[in-house]
Structure 1
Amino acid sequence: MLLTDHEHRIKLRALRYQFPVAIGDPYDDNWLVIGGEVTTPEGSWSFTDPCLLTDEARQITPWLRAAGGATPTDTPSDLHFLEPVLSFSHTGSGLVRVHLSHEAAPPWRDGEERLNGYDIEIKATTAGLRQAADEWERCLAPFPSR
Protein backbone atom coordinates (compact mmCIF):
# COMPACT_ATOMS: atom_id res chain seq x y z
CA MET A 1 0.00 0.00 0.00
CA LEU A 2 1.31 3.41 -0.88
CA LEU A 3 0.23 6.67 0.79
CA THR A 4 1.86 9.71 -0.74
CA ASP A 5 1.65 13.43 -1.34
CA HIS A 6 4.19 16.00 -2.58
CA GLU A 7 6.30 15.75 0.63
CA HIS A 8 5.65 12.31 2.15
CA ARG A 9 5.71 8.70 1.05
CA ILE A 10 4.79 5.65 3.13
CA LYS A 11 4.81 2.20 1.62
CA LEU A 12 3.54 -0.68 3.79
CA ARG A 13 3.51 -4.40 2.96
CA ALA A 14 2.67 -7.59 4.74
CA LEU A 15 5.80 -9.70 4.34
CA ARG A 16 5.09 -12.96 6.16
CA TYR A 17 3.68 -14.53 9.28
CA GLN A 18 5.98 -14.00 12.27
CA PHE A 19 5.90 -17.76 12.92
CA PRO A 20 5.74 -19.87 9.73
CA VAL A 21 4.07 -22.87 11.37
CA ALA A 22 0.67 -22.51 13.04
CA ILE A 23 0.47 -24.11 16.48
CA GLY A 24 -3.16 -23.38 17.35
CA ASP A 25 -2.53 -20.15 19.27
CA PRO A 26 -4.83 -17.34 18.06
CA TYR A 27 -2.17 -14.70 18.66
CA ASP A 28 1.12 -16.34 17.76
CA ASP A 29 -0.36 -17.94 14.63
CA ASN A 30 -1.62 -14.62 13.27
CA TRP A 31 1.12 -12.03 13.76
CA LEU A 32 2.13 -10.48 10.45
CA VAL A 33 5.54 -8.98 9.82
CA ILE A 34 4.99 -5.59 8.22
CA GLY A 35 7.63 -3.88 6.13
CA GLY A 36 7.59 -0.11 5.80
CA GLU A 37 9.49 2.42 3.72
CA VAL A 38 9.05 6.04 4.78
CA THR A 39 10.19 9.32 3.21
CA THR A 40 9.58 12.72 4.80
CA PRO A 41 11.28 16.11 4.48
CA GLU A 42 13.24 15.19 7.64
CA GLY A 43 14.65 11.96 6.21
CA SER A 44 13.97 8.43 5.00
CA TRP A 45 13.99 5.10 6.80
CA SER A 46 12.57 1.61 6.68
CA PHE A 47 11.33 -0.84 9.29
CA THR A 48 10.30 -4.47 9.58
CA ASP A 49 8.25 -5.54 12.57
CA PRO A 50 5.58 -8.14 13.52
CA CYS A 51 3.12 -5.43 14.53
CA LEU A 52 -0.30 -6.44 13.18
CA LEU A 53 -2.54 -9.43 13.71
CA THR A 54 -4.22 -10.70 10.53
CA ASP A 55 -7.65 -9.45 11.70
CA GLU A 56 -6.19 -6.03 12.54
CA ALA A 57 -4.52 -5.79 9.15
CA ARG A 58 -7.88 -6.45 7.48
CA GLN A 59 -9.40 -3.45 9.27
CA ILE A 60 -7.15 -1.11 7.29
CA THR A 61 -8.83 -1.71 3.90
CA PRO A 62 -12.35 -0.54 4.88
CA TRP A 63 -10.83 2.26 6.96
CA LEU A 64 -8.92 3.59 3.93
CA ARG A 65 -12.05 3.36 1.78
CA ALA A 66 -14.06 5.26 4.39
CA ALA A 67 -11.33 7.89 4.75
CA GLY A 68 -11.52 8.33 0.97
CA GLY A 69 -15.30 8.62 1.02
CA ALA A 70 -15.88 5.29 -0.75
CA THR A 71 -17.94 3.77 2.08
CA PRO A 72 -20.34 5.13 4.70
CA THR A 73 -18.69 7.33 7.30
CA ASP A 74 -19.65 5.21 10.31
CA THR A 75 -16.01 4.09 10.34
CA PRO A 76 -14.09 5.59 13.27
CA SER A 77 -11.64 8.37 12.45
CA ASP A 78 -8.88 6.63 14.46
CA LEU A 79 -7.55 3.12 13.88
CA HIS A 80 -5.37 1.65 16.65
CA PHE A 81 -4.01 -1.85 17.13
CA LEU A 82 -2.79 -4.13 19.93
CA GLU A 83 0.85 -3.19 19.25
CA PRO A 84 1.32 0.61 19.28
CA VAL A 85 3.84 0.53 16.41
CA LEU A 86 1.41 1.72 13.73
CA SER A 87 -1.89 3.63 13.84
CA PHE A 88 -3.97 5.81 11.54
CA SER A 89 -6.35 8.74 11.84
CA HIS A 90 -8.13 11.04 9.41
CA THR A 91 -9.97 14.31 9.53
CA GLY A 92 -12.53 13.54 6.87
CA SER A 93 -11.08 16.22 4.60
CA GLY A 94 -8.43 14.06 2.95
CA LEU A 95 -5.80 14.51 5.64
CA VAL A 96 -4.52 11.10 6.81
CA ARG A 97 -2.19 10.87 9.80
CA VAL A 98 0.06 7.84 10.15
CA HIS A 99 1.56 7.41 13.60
CA LEU A 100 4.80 5.40 13.74
CA SER A 101 6.36 4.50 17.08
CA HIS A 102 8.72 2.01 18.69
CA GLU A 103 10.36 -0.08 15.95
CA ALA A 104 8.72 1.98 13.16
CA ALA A 105 9.86 5.39 14.46
CA PRO A 106 12.61 7.29 12.62
CA PRO A 107 16.10 6.06 13.53
CA TRP A 108 17.20 9.54 14.61
CA ARG A 109 14.72 9.42 17.48
CA ASP A 110 16.07 7.97 20.71
CA GLY A 111 14.59 6.51 23.88
CA GLU A 112 11.36 8.16 24.92
CA GLU A 113 11.04 9.90 21.52
CA ARG A 114 10.78 6.49 19.82
CA LEU A 115 8.05 5.44 22.25
CA ASN A 116 6.10 8.67 21.80
CA GLY A 117 6.22 8.18 18.06
CA TYR A 118 6.28 10.27 14.94
CA ASP A 119 3.24 11.56 13.07
CA ILE A 120 3.17 11.95 9.32
CA GLU A 121 0.30 13.89 7.81
CA ILE A 122 -0.49 13.08 4.20
CA LYS A 123 -2.86 15.13 2.09
CA ALA A 124 -4.41 12.17 0.30
CA THR A 125 -6.75 12.15 -2.65
CA THR A 126 -9.87 10.01 -2.79
CA ALA A 127 -8.39 8.08 -5.70
CA GLY A 128 -5.11 7.60 -3.82
CA LEU A 129 -6.89 6.22 -0.75
CA ARG A 130 -8.99 3.86 -2.84
CA GLN A 131 -5.90 2.64 -4.66
CA ALA A 132 -4.09 2.14 -1.34
CA ALA A 133 -7.06 0.12 -0.04
CA ASP A 134 -7.05 -2.08 -3.14
CA GLU A 135 -3.28 -2.62 -2.90
CA TRP A 136 -3.50 -3.49 0.81
CA GLU A 137 -6.31 -5.97 0.18
CA ARG A 138 -4.24 -7.71 -2.52
CA CYS A 139 -1.19 -7.72 -0.25
CA LEU A 140 -3.13 -9.50 2.52
CA ALA A 141 -4.64 -12.20 0.28
CA PRO A 142 -1.83 -14.73 0.99
CA PHE A 143 -2.27 -14.28 4.77
CA PRO A 144 -5.62 -15.60 6.00
CA SER A 145 -6.32 -15.88 9.71
CA ARG A 146 -5.01 -19.21 10.92
Structure 2
Amino acid sequence: MREPDEPSGLQLVAFQGRHSSLRMAIRQYQFPDVMDDAWDSNWLIVEGHVDIKGRKWTFRDPCLTTFEAEHLADWLEEVSNAEPSKVDCRFTEPNLEFRYQKNRQLRISFALESGPPGFGTPSSWDERSFLVPVSSALATAATQLRQQLVRFPRRGPHPTRLR
Protein backbone atom coordinates (compact mmCIF):
# COMPACT_ATOMS: atom_id res chain seq x y z
CA MET A 1 0.00 0.00 0.00
CA ARG A 2 1.36 3.43 -0.97
CA GLU A 3 1.69 6.08 1.71
CA PRO A 4 -0.12 9.35 1.08
CA ASP A 5 1.99 12.20 -0.16
CA GLU A 6 2.75 15.12 2.07
CA PRO A 7 0.84 18.34 1.29
CA SER A 8 3.93 19.70 -0.46
CA GLY A 9 4.11 16.60 -2.66
CA LEU A 10 6.86 14.96 -0.58
CA GLN A 11 6.48 11.42 0.65
CA LEU A 12 6.83 10.34 4.24
CA VAL A 13 10.19 8.78 5.10
CA ALA A 14 9.31 5.09 5.18
CA PHE A 15 10.93 2.07 6.83
CA GLN A 16 9.28 -1.32 6.35
CA GLY A 17 10.05 -4.48 8.30
CA ARG A 18 8.39 -7.88 8.02
CA HIS A 19 5.41 -7.03 10.26
CA SER A 20 6.38 -3.54 11.41
CA SER A 21 6.93 -0.07 10.01
CA LEU A 22 7.82 3.54 10.68
CA ARG A 23 6.56 6.45 8.60
CA MET A 24 7.97 9.80 9.64
CA ALA A 25 7.92 13.43 8.56
CA ILE A 26 9.57 16.64 9.65
CA ARG A 27 6.71 18.98 10.58
CA GLN A 28 8.35 22.22 11.70
CA TYR A 29 11.18 23.86 13.59
CA GLN A 30 10.66 23.66 17.35
CA PHE A 31 11.67 27.33 17.64
CA PRO A 32 10.73 28.89 14.27
CA ASP A 33 11.65 32.43 15.36
CA VAL A 34 15.14 31.61 16.67
CA MET A 35 17.49 32.06 13.73
CA ASP A 36 20.99 32.52 15.15
CA ASP A 37 21.56 29.79 17.74
CA ALA A 38 23.55 26.72 16.68
CA TRP A 39 21.21 24.39 18.59
CA ASP A 40 17.84 26.04 19.22
CA SER A 41 17.58 27.27 15.62
CA ASN A 42 17.87 23.70 14.35
CA TRP A 43 15.55 21.56 16.50
CA LEU A 44 12.91 19.84 14.38
CA ILE A 45 9.48 18.53 15.35
CA VAL A 46 9.30 15.01 13.93
CA GLU A 47 6.05 13.10 13.58
CA GLY A 48 6.19 9.33 13.41
CA HIS A 49 3.60 6.64 12.79
CA VAL A 50 4.82 3.34 14.23
CA ASP A 51 3.38 -0.15 13.83
CA ILE A 52 5.25 -2.93 15.62
CA LYS A 53 3.49 -6.23 14.97
CA GLY A 54 0.04 -4.61 15.14
CA ARG A 55 0.75 -2.32 18.11
CA LYS A 56 0.36 1.17 16.64
CA TRP A 57 1.15 4.62 17.98
CA THR A 58 2.07 8.09 16.83
CA PHE A 59 4.62 10.50 18.26
CA ARG A 60 5.28 14.16 17.57
CA ASP A 61 8.38 15.46 19.30
CA PRO A 62 11.50 17.61 18.83
CA CYS A 63 13.82 14.62 18.61
CA LEU A 64 16.25 15.59 15.80
CA THR A 65 18.19 18.64 14.71
CA THR A 66 18.72 19.61 11.10
CA PHE A 67 22.32 18.41 11.23
CA GLU A 68 21.34 15.12 12.90
CA ALA A 69 18.73 14.51 10.18
CA GLU A 70 21.43 15.22 7.55
CA HIS A 71 23.71 12.74 9.33
CA LEU A 72 20.93 10.13 9.40
CA ALA A 73 20.39 10.52 5.64
CA ASP A 74 24.13 10.09 4.99
CA TRP A 75 24.29 7.07 7.30
CA LEU A 76 21.26 5.38 5.72
CA GLU A 77 22.82 5.80 2.30
CA GLU A 78 26.09 4.32 3.56
CA VAL A 79 24.24 1.33 5.08
CA SER A 80 22.35 0.71 1.84
CA ASN A 81 25.63 0.53 -0.11
CA ALA A 82 27.92 -1.39 2.26
CA GLU A 83 28.65 -2.18 5.89
CA PRO A 84 28.74 1.23 7.61
CA SER A 85 31.82 2.72 9.26
CA LYS A 86 29.75 3.27 12.45
CA VAL A 87 27.33 0.58 13.65
CA ASP A 88 24.71 2.99 14.97
CA CYS A 89 23.16 6.38 14.37
CA ARG A 90 22.12 8.03 17.63
CA PHE A 91 21.09 11.56 18.43
CA THR A 92 21.22 14.17 21.20
CA GLU A 93 17.70 13.22 22.29
CA PRO A 94 17.60 9.42 22.65
CA ASN A 95 14.06 9.05 21.26
CA LEU A 96 15.16 7.24 18.09
CA GLU A 97 18.08 4.95 17.41
CA PHE A 98 19.13 3.27 14.19
CA ARG A 99 21.57 0.35 14.58
CA TYR A 100 23.16 -1.83 11.91
CA GLN A 101 23.00 -5.55 12.66
CA LYS A 102 25.61 -7.98 11.33
CA ASN A 103 22.86 -10.00 9.60
CA ARG A 104 22.35 -7.09 7.13
CA GLN A 105 19.39 -5.70 8.99
CA LEU A 106 18.73 -2.36 10.59
CA ARG A 107 17.15 -2.16 14.06
CA ILE A 108 15.02 0.94 14.65
CA SER A 109 14.34 1.60 18.35
CA PHE A 110 11.99 4.02 20.09
CA ALA A 111 12.31 5.51 23.59
CA LEU A 112 10.94 8.26 25.80
CA GLU A 113 8.32 10.41 24.01
CA SER A 114 8.68 8.37 20.82
CA GLY A 115 8.20 5.02 22.54
CA PRO A 116 5.03 2.99 22.84
CA PRO A 117 2.48 4.66 25.13
CA GLY A 118 1.38 2.98 28.32
CA PHE A 119 4.37 0.67 28.58
CA GLY A 120 6.47 2.57 31.08
CA THR A 121 9.73 0.73 30.61
CA PRO A 122 9.31 -1.88 27.85
CA SER A 123 10.56 -5.27 28.95
CA SER A 124 11.86 -6.47 25.59
CA TRP A 125 13.27 -5.18 22.31
CA ASP A 126 10.19 -6.48 20.50
CA GLU A 127 8.03 -3.93 22.32
CA ARG A 128 10.02 -0.89 21.21
CA SER A 129 12.01 -1.80 18.12
CA PHE A 130 11.86 -3.67 14.85
CA LEU A 131 14.15 -4.90 12.10
CA VAL A 132 14.33 -3.60 8.53
CA PRO A 133 16.25 -5.53 5.86
CA VAL A 134 19.16 -3.65 4.31
CA SER A 135 18.17 -2.85 0.74
CA SER A 136 17.88 0.01 -1.72
CA ALA A 137 14.79 1.09 0.26
CA LEU A 138 17.19 2.65 2.79
CA ALA A 139 18.70 4.83 0.05
CA THR A 140 15.14 5.83 -0.90
CA ALA A 141 14.46 6.75 2.75
CA ALA A 142 17.66 8.87 2.74
CA THR A 143 16.46 10.67 -0.39
CA GLN A 144 13.01 11.26 1.13
CA LEU A 145 14.61 12.67 4.29
CA ARG A 146 16.83 15.01 2.26
CA GLN A 147 13.78 16.18 0.30
CA GLN A 148 12.05 17.06 3.57
CA LEU A 149 15.15 18.89 4.80
CA VAL A 150 14.95 21.25 1.83
CA ARG A 151 12.02 22.89 3.68
CA PHE A 152 14.07 22.99 6.91
CA PRO A 153 17.65 24.08 6.16
CA ARG A 154 20.31 24.37 8.83
CA ARG A 155 20.16 27.79 10.46
CA GLY A 156 22.64 29.79 12.53
CA PRO A 157 26.25 28.81 13.17
CA HIS A 158 27.30 25.18 12.95
CA PRO A 159 27.68 23.75 16.47
CA THR A 160 31.33 23.33 17.40
CA ARG A 161 30.57 20.60 19.91
CA LEU A 162 27.90 18.02 20.41
CA ARG A 163 25.79 18.20 23.53
Cα deviation, residue 62, structure 1? 1.3
| Corresponding letter in the other structure for 2:32 | P
Cα deviation, residue 46, structure 1? 0.4
What is the TM-score normalised by the length of structure 2?
0.78
Match of 2:159 in 1: none
Give the Cα–Cα distance (whole angstroms) in 1 for the partners of residues 104 and 146 of structure 2: 20
Q: What are the ranges of 5 or more consecutive residues in structure 2 without an aligned counterpart?
A: 1-12, 156-163
Give the Cα–Cα distance (whole angstroms) in 2 for the partners of residues 123 and 20 of structure 1: 33
CA RMSD of aligned residues (A): 2.0
Aligned 8 A contact 1:97 1:120 in 2: yes
Match of 1:13 in 2: 25
State the percentage of identical aligned residues: 28
Aligned 8 A contact 1:3 1:122 in 2: no
Match of 2:87 in 1: 77
Give the Cα–Cα distance (whole angstroms) in 1 for the partners of residues 130 and 78 of structure 2: 17
Match of 1:122 in 2: 131
- Residue 113 of structure 2: SS of its match in structure 1? helix
- 1:107–1:126 Cα change, 3 Å: same
Q: What are the ranges of 5 or more consecutive residues in structure 1 without an aligned counterpart?
A: none
Give the Cα–Cα distance (whole angstroms) in 1 for the partners of residues 134 and 144 of structure 2: 15
- Residue 91 of structure 2: SS of its match in structure 1? coil
How many residue pairs are counted as aligned between the two chains?
A: 141
For residues 63-88 of structure 1, give each alpha carbon's deviation from its aligned partner in whole angstroms, at most 9, with x where no partner exists: 1111112xx64531111111111111
Give the Cα–Cα distance (whole angstroms) in 2 for the partners of residues 43 and 101 of structure 1: 15
Aligned 8 A contact 2:79 2:134 in 1: no
Aligned 8 A contact 1:18 1:33 in 2: yes
| Corresponding letter in the other structure for 1:80 | R
